[in-house]
Structure 1
């Protein structure tokens, strides 16, 4: 299978938290933060191994998700991205109550690590 499964709300939430904490600047795929999050998502049991493509949640994919999320940010003025409905929902939740959202995203991240 070449195509990775759709991103879940939980996966998108932890990427959105990283984007928020980087002041809405998406990070390079080689950055420590993106590489770390890629490893966490790859080690998580959210998606069965047999449905994952060979590029599943790699650093480039995580960085691309940051771009898609940034395209949902109200101050974004560029071309539309290929993000989905859940991307918009996550960004709306994040902007509505950043403190609560970041707390929830941290809990999700911790659950994925453990």
Structure 2
């Protein structure tokens, strides 16, 4: 991370507990001190449900624990029932999940285009 330009950190609502020490937060803060230009973007990953306002607030509070980190506007939804094929994901599946592909495209544009 010391030489990286961007770090994208997927996070679920279950992972954000600011009362517990979290090694990744310390690692990201350490990397930011060595590499002040490092852009840290958290992206919320959830099941097919929409996160509640309380859950979003908890994630936003968690993100503030990392210096200059931001939370992506794009939320990625994981669909356990969609079978992409052995060893494949939404990016290289023969039969694409249009919703998942659109979310990844949105995240790409948010991170790299804007």
Larger helix fraction of residues: 1
Q: TM-score, normalised by structure 2?
A: 0.33
Q: TM-score, normalised by structure 1?
A: 0.33
Give the structure, 1 or 2, with the largest relative contact order (CA under 8 Å, sep 6 or more).
Answer: 1
